[in-house]
Chains A and B, each alone.
Chain A
Amino acid sequence: MADTKMVNLTIEGRAVSVPEGTNILEAAKAAGVLVPHYCYHPGLPVAGVCRMCLVEVEKMPKLAPSCATNVAEGQVVHVYSEKALEARKGVLELLLINHPLDCPICDQAGECELQDYTFQEGRADSRYREPKRFNPVEDFGGDVLYVTNRCILCTRCVRFMEDVHQEPVLNVSDRGDRATIGKASDADLTQPWAANVIDLCPVGALVSKDFLNKARAWELDRTASVCTGCSQGCNSILETRDNVVVRQKPRSNDQVNRFYLCDEGRLDYRWMNRPDRMEAPKIRLADVLSPVDWEIAFDETTKVMRGKRAYVVASPRLSNEALFLLKQLIGATKGTGVFRCATGPEAPLPGVPDLALRADRAPNVRGAELLGFARRDHDLLGGLAEGDVLVIADDELAGLDLGTAKKASAIVLIGTVLPAGLPTPDVVLPIANVAEEEGTFTNLRGRVQRFLQAKAAPGLARPSWYALADLNAALGVKAEYFLPSAVFEAMAQQEPAFGGLSYETLGLYGAPVKGAAATVGAA
Chain B
Amino acid sequence: MGYPHKSHPRETPVLSKHFGEAEARTLDGWKKRGGYKALAQALATDPLAIQDVIKASGLRGRGGAGFPTGLKWSFMKIGDGKPHYLCCNADESEPGTFKDREIMRWTPHALIEGCAIAAHAIGAETAYIYIRGEFTEPIRVMEAALAEARAAGIIGKNAMGSGKTVDVWVHKGAGAYICGEETALMNSLEGKRGNPRIKPPFPAVSGLFGKPTTINNVETLAAVPHILNNGAEWYKAMCLASPKSTGSKLYSVCGNVAKPGNYEVVMGFSFKEFLYDLCGGPLPGRKFKALIPGGSSVPTITIEEAEQVKMDYEGFLEQGTMLGSGGVIIFDDAQSMPRQLARIARFYAHESCAQCTQCREGTAWMTKILERIVAGQGTFEDLDTIFDLSEQMTGKTICVLSDSCGAPVVSGITKFRGEFEALIKGRRSSTVAVGAP
Partner-B contacts on A (CB < 8 A): 46-52, 54, 62-63, 65, 68, 87, 90-91, 94-95, 97-98, 127-130, 152-153, 172, 174-179
| Residues on the A chain within 8 Å of B148, using CB | none
CA distance A315 to B350 in the complex (A): 61
Which of A54, A87, A94, A174 is most buried by chain B, counting CB atoms within 10 A of its CB? A94
| Residues on the A chain within 8 Å of B381, using CB | 127
Q: Which of A47, A87, A98, A129 contacts B396 (CB 8 A)?
A: A87
Report yes or no: B361 in contact with A95, Cβ–Cβ below 8 A: yes
Report yes or no: A46 in contact with B354, Cβ–Cβ below 8 A: no
**What 0/1 readout, one digit per residue, does chain B (359-371) give for beta carbons within 8 Å of chain A?**
0111111001100
Which of A91, A127, A177 is most buried by chain B, counting CB atoms within 10 A of its CB? A177
CA distance A46 to B355 in the complex (A): 13
Q: Which of A52, A129, A130, A172 contacts B357 (CB 8 A)?
A: A52
Report yes or no: B193 in contact with A172, Cβ–Cβ below 8 A: yes
Report yes or no: A175 in contact with B396, Cβ–Cβ below 8 A: no
Q: Which of B355, B362, B382, B398 contacts A94 (CB 8 A)?
A: B362
Q: Which residue of A lies closest to B178 (CB)?
A: A175
Report yes or no: B361 in contact with A177, Cβ–Cβ below 8 A: yes
Report yes or no: A90 in contact with B354, Cβ–Cβ below 8 A: no
Report yes or no: B351 in contact with A63, Cβ–Cβ below 8 A: no
| Residues on the B chain within 8 Å of A52, using CB | 357
Q: Which residue of A lies closest to B369 (CB)?
A: A130
| Shortest distance between the CB of B352 and any CB in chain A (Å) | 4
B26 on interface, CB distance cutoff 8 Å: no
Count B-side interface residues using an 8 Å CB cutoff.
32
Partner-A contacts on B (CB < 8 A): 176, 193, 198, 349-358, 360-365, 368-369, 372, 381-382, 385, 388, 391-392, 395-398
CA distance A325 to B184 in the complex (A): 64
CA distance A176 to B354 in the complex (A): 4
Interface CB pairs A-B, < 8 A, 22: A48-B398, A49-B356, A62-B396, A63-B396, A90-B388, A91-B392, A95-B361, A97-B361, A98-B361, A128-B365, A129-B372, A130-B365, A153-B357, A174-B354, A175-B351, A175-B352, A175-B354, A176-B353, A176-B354, A176-B363, A177-B349, A177-B361
Report yes or no: A95 in contact with B357, Cβ–Cβ below 8 A: yes
Which of A54, A90, A91 is most buried by chain B, counting CB atoms within 10 A of its CB? A90
List of 6 A-B pairs having minimum Cβ-Cβ separation, nearest first: A179-B354, A90-B392, A177-B364, A94-B361, A130-B368, A176-B352
| Residues on the B chain within 8 Å of A128, using CB | 365
Report yes or no: B361 in contact with A175, Cβ–Cβ below 8 A: no
| Residues on the A chain within 8 Å of B355, using CB | 47, 49, 153
| Residues on the A chain within 8 Å of B365, using CB | 94, 97, 128, 130
| Residues on the A chain within 8 Å of B358, using CB | 51, 90-91, 94
| Residues on the B chain within 8 Å of A153, using CB | 354-355, 357, 360
Q: Which of B350, B357, B385, B391 contacts A152 (CB 8 A)?
A: B357
| Residues on the B chain within 8 Å of A130, using CB | 365, 368-369, 372
| Residues on the B chain within 8 Å of A97, using CB | 361, 365
- In terms of DSSP, what is the predominant structure of the interface of chain B? helix
CA distance A46 to B361 in the complex (A): 21
CA distance A52 to B193 in the complex (A): 22
CA distance A94 to B360 in the complex (A): 9
CA distance A128 to B369 in the complex (A): 9
CA distance A403 to B102 in the complex (A): 91
Q: Which of B193, B350, B368, B382 contacts A176 (CB 8 A)?
A: B350
| Residues on the B chain within 8 Å of A98, using CB | 361
| Residues on the A chain within 8 Å of B354, using CB | 153, 172, 174-179
CA distance A258 to B352 in the complex (A): 35
Q: Which of B356, B368, B382 contacts A51 (CB 8 A)?
A: B356
CA distance A172 to B46 in the complex (A): 45
Q: Which residue of B lies closest to A153 (CB)?
A: B354
| Shortest distance between the CB of A134 and any CB in chain B (Å) | 14
| Shortest distance between the CB of B403 and any CB in chain A (Å) | 11
| Residues on the A chain within 8 Å of B364, using CB | 176-177
CA distance A52 to B350 in the complex (A): 23
CA distance A328 to B216 in the complex (A): 78
Q: Which residue of B lies closest to A62 (CB)?
A: B395
CA distance A52 to B397 in the complex (A): 10
- What 9 new A-B contacts, CB under 8 Å, besides A52-B357, A175-B351? A46-B198, A47-B355, A51-B357, A51-B397, A87-B396, A90-B388, A94-B392, A129-B382, A130-B368
| Residues on the B chain within 8 Å of A49, using CB | 355-357, 398
Q: Which residue of B lies closest to A174 (CB)?
A: B354
Q: Which residue of A lies closest to B176 (CB)?
A: A175
Which of B349, B365, B395, B398 is most buried by chain A, counting CB atoms within 10 A of its CB? B365
CA distance A129 to B389 in the complex (A): 14
Report yes or no: B360 in contact with A179, Cβ–Cβ below 8 A: yes
| Shortest distance between the CB of A50 and any CB in chain B (Å) | 6
CA distance A372 to B356 in the complex (A): 58
CA distance A43 to B279 in the complex (A): 58
Q: Which of B361, B388, B395 contacts A63 (CB 8 A)?
A: B395
Also in contact, A127 and B392, with CB within 8 A (given A176-B350, A176-B360, A177-B352) = no
| Residues on the A chain within 8 Å of B353, using CB | 175-176
Q: Which of B198, B357, B398 contacts A91 (CB 8 A)?
A: B357
Report yes or no: B360 in contact with A68, Cβ–Cβ below 8 A: no
| Shortest distance between the CB of B269 and any CB in chain A (Å) | 32
Which of B176, B352, B391, B392 is most buried by chain A, counting CB atoms within 10 A of its CB? B392
| Residues on the A chain within 8 Å of B388, using CB | 90
Q: Which residue of A lies closest to B360 (CB)?
A: A177
Which of A49, A62, A130, A179 is most buried by chain B, counting CB atoms within 10 A of its CB? A49
| Residues on the B chain within 8 Å of A179, using CB | 354, 360
Q: Which residue of B lies closest to A96 (CB)?
A: B361
| Shortest distance between the CB of B312 and any CB in chain A (Å) | 24
CA distance A127 to B379 in the complex (A): 12
Q: Which residue of B lies closest to A46 (CB)?
A: B198
| Shortest distance between the CB of A279 and any CB in chain B (Å) | 54
| Shortest distance between the CB of B289 and any CB in chain A (Å) | 29
Also in contact, A54 and B357, with CB within 8 A (given A130-B372, A176-B352) = no
Q: Which residue of A lies closest to B355 (CB)?
A: A49
| Shortest distance between the CB of A232 and any CB in chain B (Å) | 34
CA distance A49 to B355 in the complex (A): 5
| Residues on the B chain within 8 Å of A176, using CB | 349-354, 360, 363-364
| Residues on the A chain within 8 Å of B368, using CB | 130
